[in-house]
Chains A and B, each alone.
Chain A
Amino acid sequence: MTTTTAPRRTALYESHKLLGGKIVDFHGWELPVQFESILREHEATRTLCGLFDVSHMGQVFATGPDALAFLQKVNANDISKIGPGKAIYSHLPNERGGVVDDVIVSCLAKGRYLVVVNAATADKDFAWFEKNARGLKVELENKSDFYGMVAVQGPNAVEVVKLIEPKALALPRFGAMEFVFHDHPSFITRTGYTGEDGFEFIVPNEIVVRLWEDLLAQGRSFGARPCGLGARDTLRLEAGYLLYGQDIDDEHSTYEANYGWVVKLDKGEFIGKHLLVKQKKDGVNRKLIGVKLLERGVPRPGASVLFEGRETGSLCSATYSPSLACGIGVGYLDRPDLAPGARVSIVLHGREIPAEVVKVPFYQSPHLKKGA
């Protein structure tokens, strides 16, 4: 192992070991890649309920009279659109056409926001926030080490969550609320990374084990299973969600990632706007495009994509899709004009496997209303 720092563990590490979780290093965090089987965990989340430890994710609070102005400055999405009790997915553009991170911003009250950031980027994000908050009346707090986070996902998530906090059922998709769990102020958002209905709990580390055990116990009769990073990755890729550091990064823009709906150019000034305006006007030279294998095989990140015999890019995320029972992937292709149905091939073990450009998301849950 070549990590320079000791791997970090979430408060649920011992619980995962007890449940037979197979632990791997994920961006410096020791997390379970699976408990029993990635396929079974994937299936449980699509049809019943999956429980995920996402405590490695970070939490930053922005509070003060200029909190909204600050968030508008660093986000591509229009944070003024969310009032108390609502959350929004957004990108943090940098000044050279890339993305600092993708985040979910929740409005807790007027002038008080919670930003959930990625694990690997939490420190980078916080430094970026502090730099860009100078001169503004906003207090920033990085509480990533204080909170744990658990996602409850799948069509039965409502049944499981009802037994923990019945008020959460009133949350709309991308709703956010505060609640008290075992005397500790905590948060629930109706969000997730699976393409299913679901909830994410943010609670202090000292009570996250109690929450996890409650969810396992209450969830048993609804088919809830603990799930690892393996299923999390197949679920999110099927749902067309980006993985920061793999699908987007400091060098790839929101438009290139085909996430243009996140950019609100009419909201006023924000960091990196001029580059996005230019990209919107001129178009992009490369675009994140979804492909589906037409023959058997499992594509992996890094696999070359050929169009008319010429290399046109490579896959940044790719896997076997349990829901579609075929190989899928996304990659930046230098032919942004390729439309669904276009034939390409993917190079696997030195062989060219026929594939087809398809619309992302690859999978639309029948349990979740379209566009939700």
Chain B
Amino acid sequence: MFDPKSLKFMKSHEWLRLEGDAGVVGISDHAQKEITDVVFVEPPKAGRKIKQGEACCVVESVKAAFDIYAPVSGEIVEANAEAVKDPALLNREPYGKGWLFKIKATAPGEAAKLMDNAAYEQFLLAEAAHGSH
């Protein structure tokens, strides 16, 4: 389990754990609660090269399909086969066993554009305030 405080977040609710150029990507606890009941995960294949912000993965719940965007550019190192087999892992352990893919970042500096946990929480509060009538 990663401590959310050690993660970077996108406005589209992906998280990134980056050590050097080795990244792990998943969806936030907030996102899994919103999506609910994940029943299907299609992570990108190892070897695929993606750009920051590119849609590279599909997560589906009973209700809807969601595109997952790459938090940094790089090459996919590994897709989480466990999450493909048991998609509910995204609901149970969004910051742990429910990770989606590992990526070798080609420009780790891009992560500076992402939010840290405190900023992400502020962003969620602002969204909630904006979203309510």
Interface residues of A (CB under 8 A from B): 22, 33-34, 37-39, 230, 234, 296-298, 300, 319-320, 322, 349
CB-defined contacts of A230 to chain B, threshold 8 Å: 36, 62-63
A38 touches B63 (CB 8 A): yes
Q: How far is the CA of A101 from the CA of B63 in the complex (A)?
A: 25
What is the interface size of chain B, counting residues whose CB is below 8 A from a CB of the partner? 14
Task: Sample 8 A-B pairs with CB under 8 A, ordered by A number.
Answer: A34-B36, A38-B37, A230-B36, A234-B62, A296-B40, A298-B60, A319-B62, A320-B62
Within 8 A of A (CB), among B25-65: 36-37, 39-40, 42, 58, 60-65
Q: How far is the CA of A319 from the CA of B88 in the complex (A)?
A: 17
B65 touches A300 (CB 8 A): yes
A298 touches B65 (CB 8 A): yes
**Which residue of chain A has its CB nearest to the CB of B34?**
A22
Known A-B contacts A298-B60, A320-B60; A37 and B65 likewise in contact (beta carbons under 8 Å): no
CB-defined contacts of A320 to chain B, threshold 8 Å: 39-40, 60, 62
Known: A296-B42, A319-B62. 9 other contacts (CB 8 A): A39-B37, A39-B62, A234-B62, A296-B40, A298-B40, A298-B60, A298-B62, A300-B65, A320-B62
- Which of B36, B40, B65 sits near A38, CB closer than 8 Å? B36
CB-defined contacts of A38 to chain B, threshold 8 Å: 36-37, 61-63
CB distance from B70 to the nearest CB of A (A): 17
Q: How far is the CA of A349 from the CA of B42 in the complex (A)?
A: 11
CB-defined contacts of A33 to chain B, threshold 8 Å: 63
A37 touches B39 (CB 8 A): no
Q: How far is the CA of A322 from the CA of B39 in the complex (A)?
A: 9
CB distance from A182 to the nearest CB of B (A): 34
**Which residue of chain A has its CB nearest to the CB of B63?**
A230
Within 8 A of A (CB), among B74-103: 88, 91
B37 touches A37 (CB 8 A): yes
Those 8 A-B pairs whose CB atoms lie nearest each other, nearest first: A298-B60, A320-B39, A38-B62, A39-B37, A38-B37, A320-B62, A298-B40, A37-B37
CB distance from B51 to the nearest CB of A (A): 19
By CB atoms of chain B within 10 A, which of A22, A33, A298 has the most?
A298
CB-defined contacts of B60 to chain A, threshold 8 Å: 297-298, 320
**Which residue of chain A has its CB nearest to the CB of B39?**
A320
CB distance from A168 to the nearest CB of B (A): 31
CB distance from B53 to the nearest CB of A (A): 18
CB-defined contacts of B63 to chain A, threshold 8 Å: 33, 38, 230
Q: How far is the CA of A37 from the CA of B32 in the complex (A)?
A: 11
**Which residue of chain A has its CB nearest to the CB of B64?**
A300
Q: How far is the CA of A192 from the CA of B65 in the complex (A)?
A: 29
- Which of B64, B65, B88, B91 sits near A349, CB closer than 8 Å? B65
A37 touches B36 (CB 8 A): yes
Q: How far is the CA of A320 from the CA of B40 in the complex (A)?
A: 9
**Which residue of chain A has its CB nearest to the CB of B40?**
A298
Q: How far is the CA of A319 from the CA of B63 in the complex (A)?
A: 7
CB distance from A255 to the nearest CB of B (A): 31
CB-defined contacts of A349 to chain B, threshold 8 Å: 58, 65
CB distance from A262 to the nearest CB of B (A): 29
CB-defined contacts of A319 to chain B, threshold 8 Å: 62
- Which of A34, A37, A297 sits near B40, CB closer than 8 Å? A297
CB-defined contacts of B65 to chain A, threshold 8 Å: 298, 300, 349
**Which residue of chain A has its CB nearest to the CB of B55?**
A349
By CB atoms of chain A within 10 A, which of B39, B42, B64, B65 has the most?
B39
CB-defined contacts of B61 to chain A, threshold 8 Å: 38
**Which residue of chain B has its CB nearest to the CB of A320?**
B39
**Which residue of chain B has its CB nearest to the CB of A37?**
B37
Q: How far is the CA of A300 from the CA of B62 in the complex (A)?
A: 10
CB distance from B37 to the nearest CB of A (A): 5
Q: How far is the CA of A22 from the CA of B63 in the complex (A)?
A: 13
B39 touches A298 (CB 8 A): yes
**Which residue of chain B has its CB nearest to the CB of A41?**
B37
Q: How far is the CA of A297 from the CA of B40 in the complex (A)?
A: 6
**Which residue of chain B has its CB nearest to the CB of A22?**
B36
Q: How far is the CA of A319 from the CA of B65 in the complex (A)?
A: 11
CB distance from B67 to the nearest CB of A (A): 9
Q: How far is the CA of A349 from the CA of B62 in the complex (A)?
A: 16
Q: How far is the CA of A38 from the CA of B36 in the complex (A)?
A: 8
CB distance from B133 to the nearest CB of A (A): 8
CB distance from A126 to the nearest CB of B (A): 30
Q: How far is the CA of A39 from the CA of B65 in the complex (A)?
A: 16
Q: How far is the CA of A33 from the CA of B37 in the complex (A)?
A: 12
CB-defined contacts of A297 to chain B, threshold 8 Å: 40, 60
CB distance from B61 to the nearest CB of A (A): 8
